[in-house]
Amino acid sequence: MRVLSGIQPTGNLHLGNYLGAIRNWVRMQDEMDSASQCFFFLADMHSITVHETREQRIRNVRDMAAALVAAGIDPDRSVLFNQARVPAHAELAWLLNGTARIGWLNRMTQFKDKAGKDREGASVGLFVYPVLQAADILAYNATHVPVGEDQKQHLELARDIAAKFNADFGVDLFTLPAPIIPKESARIMSLRDGTAKMSKSDPSDMSRINLTDDDDLIMQKVKKAKTDPEPLPEMAEGLAGRPEANNLVGIYAVLAGCSPDAVCAEFAGKGFGAFKPALGDLLTAALRPIRERFVALRTDDAALDAILEKGAARAAAAAEPTLRAAYDAMGLMR
């Protein structure tokens, strides 16, 4: 089994990243047997679809590496690297551009959402972004990819590209990757709007809990989180139509390792004046050790670069046979 997943290096992790993906990455890493391998990469080449200064992009990559290690990714047990250090990603993406079809890319809902009404003004990179994602996966012949709802379509595209390449060139080169749906897939919403995902792009810092927030700020954000005047119900089904309440109960349940029904049973009939401090205490206890390790790690650029370089060397060695075979199948002499 070979698992691959990537994350955009857009600055520090927030609670949505951590509970939605990173905890599952750590769990997968810890559950892997000796014959399996996890590849986790920072998708800095994907980040060029958004303009950033050179210095900011470098800082973002190092900070995200520090955050992942602080959250539990072990660079000795898993392969942790940034995409740009492994040229196979860009090379294979170009080869796969000859296999991918414009019609397939036109159906990608994420491009439609991000390009909006200014489709003609959107970056070419944003349009072909899913082909690079396919290369990210296929370069390592990953057998499994952890996915959320917003990435299922891109994984299906990677499978289509792999199948067409294999058929077009009469080879059995690329593995068709299967999705991993995490056992506990937490969808963390904004603290200001229970219908929108928690996001770093939200202009309000009060909408999210950053892994760098101190205990006092976490408690302040929780206490000011949008809720409603109704008390908590006895069962989670009573949260229907109450998105903000449902979000806070969901966060508590994931951190406490219990069901939303159990949380509701514990706080049934109580208002958010009683629930929010308990949630704040749970959050500060869970995030404090991660924050402390992150703060210590992010000041040592040399150590972070060494981790990424070590991971990139392992990743490049794993990707090289597949890349070489793809060139050969196409009759491209290197």
Q: How many CB atoms lie within 10 A of CB 206?
A: 15
* Burial label, 10 (beta-carbon count in 10 A; 0-12, 13-18, 19+): buried
What is the dihedral angle through the alpha carbons of 287, 290, 295, 301, rounded to the nearest 10 degrees? -150
Residues forming beta bridges with residue 145, ordered by sequence position: 179
Within 3-151, where are the H helices?
Answer: 15-17, 23-31, 54-71, 88-97, 102-106, 109-115, 124-138
User: CA dist 210 to 23, 224, 306, Å?
Assistant: 15, 15, 26
Residue 72 to residue 114: CA distance in whole angstroms: 31
Catalytic residues: 114, 197, 200
CA nearest to 160, candidates 140, 174, 148: 174
Phi, psi (rounded to 5 degrees) for 159: -65, -40
CA distance 255 to 186: 10
